[in-house]
């Protein structure tokens, strides 16, 4: 079974929103790699504690990490930025991991941003399992499960339940002139599992990924000055390129 950890950056609002883009980012790896991933991540966090002073119980939450660090103000700003870069490099160093993202440009959109982004992400997860395109170990007949941060859980659960029975997708124009298909979910099991990122080290790593994706599209002044808007490009070893033909970074742009 494949585990898809998901985190977001930005917001789904269109009117008077401080962000133009809404981002969902996923880290996917096989259940057979779960324990070794956890052990490696704990060792990595212990290294950050020893070299940067970031305690294991302290959360990496990038929205506040750079500009509003709170108690983490004791860690120098350039060290906090370096922590983010080291998180990206830790992920990139595990080639059995798979990273991809959905980026929604909210400008001039009137549809449901939350449902649009999640439907796209879920279908990329479903289709990649179906096509056996995830790296790392696999079983002959695979399934997947979603572990999300504490987002709008009720709405996401209803969406996935609906997609198991009715999921209308437009036909590809290169093959069909018009029409739709009902591509019901077959490979994603159960309702999504919701975790508080404060208690999930892998979700904190995912928070870094989602933040770095959004910085690629709308960087703040500090991240742009320090080159942080290019951090996502450091994930080339683990980017799931099959999800998009438009780039090599595993980013689906809507």
Q: Catalogue all structural domains in the chain, each as residue range(s) with its CATH number.
A: 2-253 (3.30.420.10)
Contact present, 223 and 207 (Cβ < 8 Å): no
Put residue 114 in one of left, alpha, beta given phi > 0 → left and psi -120 to 50 → alpha: alpha
Side-chain half-sphere exposure of 80, counting CA atoms within 13 A: 22
Spatial CB neighbours of 221, under 8 Å, sequence gap ≥ 6: none
Tell me how far apart the terminal alpha carbons of the chain are, to the nearest angstrom.
Answer: 28
Query: What residues form DSSP beta bridges with 94?
Result: none
Of the candidates 34, 83, 93, 74, the residue with the CA atom closest to the CA atom of residue 204: 83
pLDDT score at 67: 87
pLDDT score at 169: 75
Put residue 26 in one of left, alpha, beta given phi > 0 → left and psi -120 to 50 → alpha: beta
Task: Copy the structure tokens of residue 190.
Answer: 């159960």
pLDDT score at 166: 87
User: pLDDT tens-digit profile of 117-152?
Assistant: 999 999 999 999 999 999 999 988 999 999 998 778
pLDDT score at 150: 79
Determine the Cα–Cα distance for residues 34 and 88; give it in Å rounded to an integer. Answer: 18
- Print pLDDT tens along the chain (254 aa): 999 999 999 999 888 888 899 999 999 999 999 999 999 999 999 999 999 999 999 999 998 898 899 999 999 999 999 999 999 999 999 999 999 999 999 998 888 999 999 999 999 999 999 999 999 999 889 999 999 987 788 999 999 999 999 887 776 655 455 667 788 999 999 999 999 998 999 999 999 999 999 999 999 999 999 999 999 999 999 999 999 999 889 999 99
Q: Tell me, what DSSP letter sits at residue 196?
A: -
Determine the Cα–Cα distance for residues 188 and 113; give it in Å rounded to an integer. Answer: 22
Determine the Cα–Cα distance for residues 210 and 22; give it in Å rounded to an integer. Answer: 10
pLDDT score at 181: 78
């Amino acid at each position: 079974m494949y585990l898809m950890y998901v985190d977001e950056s930005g917001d789904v609002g269109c009117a008077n929103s401080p962000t133009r883009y809404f981002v969902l980012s996923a880290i996917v790896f096989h259940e057979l790699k779960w324990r070794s991933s956890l052990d490696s991540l704990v060792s990595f966090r212990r290294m950050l504690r020893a070299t940067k002073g970031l305690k294991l119980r302290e959360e990496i939450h990038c929205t506040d990490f750079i500009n509003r660090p709170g108690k983490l103000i004791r860690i120098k700003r350039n060290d906090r930025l370096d922590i983010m870069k080291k998180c990206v490099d830790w992920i990139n160093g595990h080639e059995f991991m798979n990273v991809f993202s959905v980026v929604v440009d909210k400008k001039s959109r009137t549809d449901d941003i939350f449902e649009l982004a999640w439907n796209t992400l879920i279908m990329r997860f479903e289709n990649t399992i179906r096509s056996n395109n995830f790296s790392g170990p696999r079983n002959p007949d695979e399934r997947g499960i979603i572990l999300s941060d504490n987002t709008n859980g009720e709405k996401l659960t209803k969406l996935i339940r609906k997609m198991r029975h009715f999921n209308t997708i437009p036909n590809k124009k290169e093959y069909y002139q018009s029409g739709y298909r009902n591509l019901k979910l077959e490979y994603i099991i159960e309702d999504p599992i919701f975790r508080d990122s404060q208690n999930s080290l892998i979700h904190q790593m995912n928070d870094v990924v989602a933040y770095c994706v959004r910085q690629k599209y709308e960087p703040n002044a500090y991240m742009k000055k320090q080159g942080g808007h290019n951090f996502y490009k450091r994930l080339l070893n683990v980017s799931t390129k099959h999800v998009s033909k438009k780039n090599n970074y595993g980013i689906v742009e809507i």
